[in-house]
Structure 1
């Protein structure tokens, strides 16, 4: 039995991981959070420990006092309040803790190409965390690469703690702006499946430096056809060429507008232009030699076609 602390475990991918850990019945689970959350404690049956990530010695003491041997970080790499993520401080505290021996650092995405490092804060923050991980002396570490969250297109009908964010293919409004050709494969994985694999790797004696999870692999054009079939309508579709994306321009979709108060329009469209280039370049077409799917064949993943039908099928 592991004594596990999930940093950021009150919401998003963290909440899914907490529930998956509890479901195994194998581990003692605690949540690290910046503020109390009695509702999560009551619903999940897991204590929420309030921490100050900026106080590394204090955080180290909390890990030791609670005998935490494994830390799973789900700290966001793009804090919406404009602050810097606290991943580095968490890594430092876990490495200093006498009881903590393992850490899954926050990633939950795809490897970012180095030529666009300066354009996205999430990439800069992730690379800073990787540099810090290279310094650890007392920890076995891994981070999980899972492609793109399928949840963004299927919540809230398909249970998820991630909010719906239908980039490129705007399913609610029956429109799409496909980056590039749309013929490059993309790995899509649902958070519930990621959480099951995350819980499972705690049973492994040794971790790989990077752990890969593959939910499903489809092109954006295939994804579009599945969405159209689920809704029973043809979408209004445009294609943004790579040349256009390189100028920082993308076709604006109706689903983007509600996000502008939290993600200002110029920054968001620039982000999507970069992201679109990554899709077309195959960054999200993850093809590792070794995956957690192969190590845990009993864990079956949700497929794009099936989950889109569940979320959007007309009756």
Structure 2
């Protein structure tokens, strides 16, 4: 049993992980929030209001904590001051392990909305440059497989989001000539399951904490889509030069936006997300490692085709 602090613990992904940790019945869990939570917090865990600009106060809160899991929203803190202060406070308090707010691709190239991840990664490398002062892992499950179920919700808390793989309308967007680009898809439930195992793991955490639920090419995703939806997908092909110029020449685009994004910024960000995912996948950004798979070889991940067939059957 260890004491775990979950920063940004009222977020959707954080709540999935918290529920999984609570279900183990093993740990003392503290949820860190900027303000009093407007959601129901399980009675067997505590929440604490914190000021991420107060490193001394944070260190006091983290006293006796073994592991910090951060789910702080990157877009709300462009310079990542909150996470950097959290890291400093964790080191001061003697925290053993830290997981920054990641939970996506292994690289952030062409994805400016995730620039903050790079800043936090650099900071962790900097504080550990001379010696390891805090053990950390970059938890990277690729894209949530749940998003391919849009608009159907497949997890308790995480809202469905659209992607360039539109199973609802049986269509997708690919870069012409790059149908073999790799994407990793992992369910939210499997992410939470692996994190629960990682917290219990007695050895050293891998720095690159890849979680590979399903490793698929664009072509394979399209083939799965055709089988589970009973109809071949309409494939729209775009050109690299257009994408590099910031142009998405397609007949459709994403419409559902993350709740952290204002409506005023939504249209431009959604186009940027489509372009960014397409370009970044050409550079292997979504082909995550299998470091955690190797640590937990007996863990059974949800198969993409089985998961999606269960979602879409009869629809």
TM (norm. structure 2) is 0.86
Cα distance per residue 1:81-126 (max 9 Å; x no partner): x76542212112111214x221112211222266x4xx61412x11
Per-residue CA deviation, residues 42-79 of structure 1 (Å, 9 max, x unaligned), is 4x742222211122211111112xx2121011223233
Residue 227, structure 1, aligned to residue 225, structure 2: yes
Partner of 1:112: 107
Structure 2 residue aligned with 1:57: 56
Aligned residue pair count: 303
> Residue 185 of structure 2 contacts residue 214 of structure 2 at CA under 8 Å; is this kept in 1?
yes
Query: What does residue 283 of structure 2 align with?
Result: 281
| Residues 173 and 255, structure 1, Cα contact 8 Å, conserved in 2 | no
**Is residue 87 of structure 2 the alignment partner of residue 87 of structure 1?**
no
Q: What CA distance in whole angstroms lies between the structure 2 residues aligned with 1:54 and 1:151? A: 34
Residue aligning to 1:199: 196
Match for residue 130 of structure 1 among 105, 121, 125: 121
Residue 147 of structure 1 corresponds to 142
Structure 1 runs, 4 residues or longer, greater than 6 Å off: none
Report what 1:306 is aligned to: 306
Change (3 A) 1:239 1:197: same
- Counterpart secondary structure, 1:238: strand
Counterparts of 2:30 and 2:174 in 1: how far apart (Å)?
A: 41
Q: When the two structures are superposed, what TM-score results if normalisation uses the length of structure 1? A: 0.86
* 2:43 matches 1:47: no
5+ residue gaps, structure 1, are none
Equivalent position of 1:70 in the other structure: 67
The residue correspondences of 1:155-304 to structure 2 (distance < 5 A) are 156-180=152-176, 181-202=178-199, 203-252=201-250, 256-259=254-257, 261=263, 263-286=265-288, 288=289, 291-304=291-304
Change (3 A) 1:276 1:314: same
Q: Shift in Å at residue 198 of structure 1?
A: 1.2
User: Partners of 1:254 and 1:68 in 2: how far apart?
Assistant: 48
Distance 1:272 1:157 in 2: 21
Q: 1:158·1:307 contact (CA, 8 Å) conserved in 2?
A: no
* CA distance 1:72–1:314, change in 2 (3 Å): same
Question: In the TM superposition, what whole-angstrom CA distance separates every residue of 1:139-185 from its partner, at most 9, and x where no partner exists?
Answer: 22112122222122236442253222221122223332223432222
> Where does the alignment leave 5 or more consecutive residues of structure 2 unmatched?
none
User: 2:105 and 2:93 mapped to 1: Cα distance?
Assistant: 29
Change in Cα spacing, 1:312 to 1:253, as seen in structure 2 (3 Å) is: farther
Q: In structure 2, do the counterparts of structure 1 residues 199 and 305 end up closer, same or farther at CA, with 3 Å as the change threshold?
A: same
| Partners of 1:160 and 1:191 within 8 A in 2 | no
> What RMSD, in angstroms, separates the aligned Cα atoms of the two structures?
2.4
Deviations 1:172-203 (A, max 9, x none): 23332223432222111112111111111222
The answer to whether the Cα contact below 8 Å between 1:144 and 1:210 also exists between their aligned partners in 2 is yes
Distance 2:24 2:305 in 1: 28
